[in-house]
Amino acid sequence: MNPFDLTGKVALVTGASRGLGKGFAIALAKAGADVVVTSRTRESLDETIAEVESLGRKAWPVVLDVREQSSIETCVAEAWEVSGGVDILVNNAGCNVRKPALEVTWEDWNLILETNLRGVFFVAQACARRMVERGYGRVINIGSVTCVNGYAGLAPYGASRGGTKQLTMSLADDWGPHGITVNCLAPGWFKTAQNKVMYEDEGWVDYLTDRIPLKRPGAPGDLDGALVFLASDASAYMTGQTLLIDGGISVGAVRAVPTK
Ligand SMILES: NC(=O)c1ccc[n+]([C@@H]2O[C@H](COP(=O)([O-])OP(=O)(O)OC[C@H]3O[C@@H](n4cnc5c(N)ncnc54)[C@H](OP(=O)(O)O)[C@@H]3O)[C@@H](O)[C@H]2O)c1
């Protein structure tokens, strides 16, 4: 018995065209799952599909814009239709706008909150409405270290991820009796398209690295173990939790205190 085995399971990964979401789809396929992968454009899913299929698993592309209510309904219905039913939802689609709080616009706020919080809720709801009929589901919301820490320049993003953590707890309480677990996987700092600009600033990367107890930013594969754990029977008695995979940066953000 391998409690991490996902053979026979179907996962739906939102925002699977690149970055962390692409990695999540591949990690789930490596563990044995077939995967419904989504993006706002069908073509951008080609690479993810090829990688999943090269592992001998099925990949179904479905178009989804999490800011559009009708798109969520259509996508989830299609996901169920093509795959026969989704066991695992990875609520990964997200965006960011980095700005000093004094410069944040109404539009910035709406973009981030509609994508990262409203989208997370309504995708989870559309899936859970179908999961309750089967009495089984694993919902994994992708959070961030901003679930638990505050950072200048990330006010709306932090609010969206603080909300993701809280939503995870509320949904876990709501849907636990239906056999659905809801947990949040909160990554630290990973280099992706979303934060490419930050990694072009070497001084900032040195500063960041210095503050990470494990002395490096996140690398591809660092989230795979935690993701598969949350998706599998290994986490059967765990719900409502936020699991930080961040090299330890969330434990404290200052240099070692002077000891003399
Ligand atoms: N990178 C990090 O260090 C980090 C740390 C903590 C948390 N996260 C979170 O992890 C998730 C993935 O981040 P990433 O760094 O991999 O970002 P990324 O490379 O920019 O990828 C974002 C993904 O989200 C999708 N997406 C964006 N807006 C969408 C919308 N309105 N509807 C549907 N899909 C949408 C994109 O798909 P299309 O553009 O193809 O539609 C893309 O696949 C995000 O939720 C992010 O907040 C990232």
- Please write the tens of the pLDDT for every residue from 196-218: 888 999 999 999 999 999 999 99
Atom of ligand 1 nearest to the CA of 65: 32
Kindly give the distance from the C-alpha atom of residue 192 to the centroid of ligand 1, in angstroms, as a whole number: 9
Residue 252 in this model has a pLDDT that exceeds 90: no
Identify the bridge partners of residue 184 per DSSP, sorted by sequence position: 141, 242
Q: What is the residue with the minimal CA distance to atom 40 of ligand 1?
A: 39
Indicate the pLDDT class of residue 254, thresholds 50, 70 and 90. low
Residue 259 in this model has a pLDDT that exceeds 90: no
Atom of ligand 1 nearest to the CA of 40: 41
CA quadruple 229, 234, 239, 241: dihedral, nearest 10:
-40
- Rounded to whole angstroms, the Cα distance separating 160 from 121 reads 11
- Rounded to whole angstroms, the Cα distance separating 172 from 157 reads 22
Q: Report the amino acid identity of residue 58.
A: K
Kindly give the distance from the C-alpha atom of residue 96 to the centroid of ligand 1, in angstroms, as a whole number: 8
- Rounded to whole angstroms, the Cα distance separating 224 from 178 reads 27
Q: Does domain 10-187+223-244 have CATH number 3.40.50.720?
A: yes
Q: What is the residue with the minimal CA distance to atom 19 of ligand 1?
A: 19
Strands 34-39 and 10-13: parallel
The pLDDT, as a whole number, for residue 174 is 98
Rounded to a whole number, what is the distance in angstroms from the first to the last CA of the chain?
53
Model-level pTM greater than 0.95? yes
Q: What is the residue with the minimal CA distance to atom 45 of ligand 1?
A: 94
Radius of gyration of the chain (CA): 18
The pLDDT, as a whole number, for residue 257 is 73
Pocket of ligand 1 (CB under 6 A): 14-15, 17-21, 39-41, 44, 64-67, 92-95, 115, 142, 144, 187, 189-190, 192-195
Q: Which residues are catalytic?
A: 157
Kindly give the distance from the C-alpha atom of residue 94 to the centroid of ligand 1, in angstroms, as a whole number: 4
Neighbours of 85 (CB within 10 A): 15
Mutation pick for ligand 1 pocket among 42, 154, 194 (CB with most ligand atoms within 8 Å): 194
Q: What is the residue with the minimal CA distance to atom 23 of ligand 1?
A: 15
For residues 36 and 62, is the Cβ–Cβ distance under 8 A?
yes
For residues 181 and 235, is the Cβ–Cβ distance under 8 A?
yes
**What is the per-residue pLDDT across 94-141, written as a single tens digit (0 to 9) for each?**
999 999 999 999 999 999 999 999 999 999 999 999 999 999 999 999
Which residue is associated with the tokens 């919902």?
Answer: 139
